[in-house]
Amino acid sequence: MTRGAFIVIEGLDRSGKSTQAARLLERIEAASKSVQLLKFPDRSTPIGQLIDSYLRSRSDMDDHTIHLLFSANRWEISSKIKSLLESGTTIICDRYAFSGIAFSASKALIEESSPPSSSPLTYEWCRAPDVSLPAPDLTLFLDISPEQAARQREGYGEERYEKLEMQARVREVFARIGKEIGAEGWVTIDAGRSREEVEKDIWEKVSPLVEGVNGPVNALW
């Protein structure tokens, strides 16, 4: 028996994740397959509303607290993810736990706003709350230089983490995560090209999985 594939799209801010997630959804629907698009943070839940307010700098929070809320926002949807996959639905997920680690682990080194007394968020500490969430079958990392993302993509700089120094650090942490996951589960896509070129590369990687995946849903780490 096969199940649905769990496909995650990751990348820096404004790398084109939502654009590509929507195109991928259309392609899979056009192939008459059952598919659902998810996005993290899911700003629609009560936890998601706290996250939204923080990202728009309408509220402040301790770095540990906001990190755990991002993770809780995934846990509150984790059983839905698992049952959708088991029922044969492919899931496309716009950001996941890897963003959680990359952004929180980066900010500790960058943000002057952290009070001097707060302990830094290490890579290991940031990873811990997401351990044993459903694991993606494939993560597509949309790679773009922070400079290019800022230059050619509208709206850059509106939210809290959209600053060049922060994004450069985030990119380094993503590279570390990609190495740990390994080439089978983590594919880097050059997102500095046209929407069509990026879409074509993504489809090449995803189309074999759309027929279904064998074996149980894995656990993250």
Q: Which residues bind Na ion (CB under 5 A)?
A: 18
- What does the alpha-carbon distance between residue 55 and residue 38 come to, in Å, rounded to a whole number? 19
Minimal distance, residue 56 CB to Na ion, in Å: 14
Distances (CA, A) of 165 to 58, 95, 110, 113: 22, 20, 8, 15
Instruction: State the binding partner of 167 from ligand T5A, Na ion, none, CB within 5 to 8 A by kind.
Output: none
Q: Which is nearer to ligand T5A, 88 or 145 (CB)?
A: 145
The rounded radius of gyration (Å) of the Cα atoms in the chain is 17
Residue 146 in the binding site for ligand T5A (CB under 6 A): no
Minimal distance, residue 11 CB to Na ion, in Å: 9
Residue 13 in the binding site for ligand T5A (CB under 6 A): yes
Residue 152 in the binding site for ligand T5A (CB under 6 A): yes
Q: Is residue 35 classed exposed, middle or buried when 0-12, 13-18 and 19+ CB atoms within 10 A define those classes?
A: buried
Instruction: State the binding partner of 111 from ligand T5A, Na ion, none, CB within 5 to 8 A by kind.
Output: none
Q: Is residue 69 classed exposed, middle or buried when 0-12, 13-18 and 19+ CB atoms within 10 A define those classes?
A: middle
Residue ranges binding ligand T5A (CB under 6 A):
11, 13-19, 40-41, 55, 70, 95, 99-100, 103, 152-154, 159, 161, 194-195, 198
